[in-house]
Amino acid sequence: MSSSKVTINEVARQAGVSIATVSRFLSNPFSVKEKNRKKLEKVIKKLHYQPFVYARKLAGGKLGVYGLIIPGYEGIFNSFYALELIKGVGFSLERKNIDLYLHIFWTKDRFNISLVDGVIFADVIANQEQLKRILKEKLPCVVINKKVEELDVSFVAVDNFRGAYQATEYLITQRHKRIAHLAGDLRVQCAQERIEGYKSALIENKIKVSDKYIKVANFSYLEARRCLEELFDTSSPPTAVFAASDEMAEEVLNFANRYKIKIPEQLSVIGFDDNPLCIQGEIKLSTVRQPLKEMASLGVDVLKEQIEKKKENIKRLVLSPQLIIRESVAPFKRS
Judged by beta carbon distances under 5 to 8 A according to partner kind, the member of DNA, its own copies, none in contact with residue 258 is: its own copies
Residue 7 found at the interface with DNA (CB under 7 A): yes
Q: What is the rounded distance in angstroms from the CA atom of residue 2 to the CA atom of residue 283?
A: 56
Other C-beta atoms within 10 Å of 282: how many?
8
Judged by beta carbon distances under 5 to 8 A according to partner kind, the member of its own copies, DNA, none in contact with residue 24 is: DNA
Range 329-333 contact pairs with CB under 8 angstroms and sequence separation of 24 or more: 329/170, 329/171, 329/174, 329/240, 329/264, 329/268, 329/269, 329/270, 329/286, 330/174, 330/264, 330/265, 330/268, 331/174, 331/175, 332/174, 332/175, 332/176, 332/177, 332/239, 332/240, 332/268, 333/265
Distance of alpha carbon 165 from the chain centroid: 21
Q: What is the rounded distance in angstroms from the CA atom of residue 261 to the CA atom of residue 281?
A: 16
Q: Which of 44, 51, 185, 252 binds DNA (CB under 7 A)?
A: 51
Strands 322-324, 287-289: pairing is antiparallel
Interface characters, 305-324, with its own copies (x: CB under 8 A): -----x--------------
Residue 259 found at the interface with its own copies (CB under 8 A): no
Q: Which of 13, 14, 47, 52 binds DNA (CB under 7 A)?
A: 52
Q: How many residues bind DNA (CB under 7 A)?
A: 30
Q: What is the rounded distance in angstroms from the CA atom of residue 126 to the CA atom of residue 98?
A: 27
Interface characters, 147-176, with DNA (x: CB under 7 A): ------------------------------
Q: Which of 14, 23, 192, 266 binds DNA (CB under 7 A)?
A: 23
Residues that bind its own copies (CB under 8 A): 1-3, 50, 52-55, 57-58, 64-65, 72, 77-78, 83-84, 86-87, 90-91, 94, 99-104, 106-108, 112-115, 136-139, 221, 254, 257-258, 276, 280-282, 310
Residues that bind DNA (CB under 7 A): 5, 7-9, 16-24, 26-27, 31-33, 35-36, 49, 51-52, 54-56, 58-61
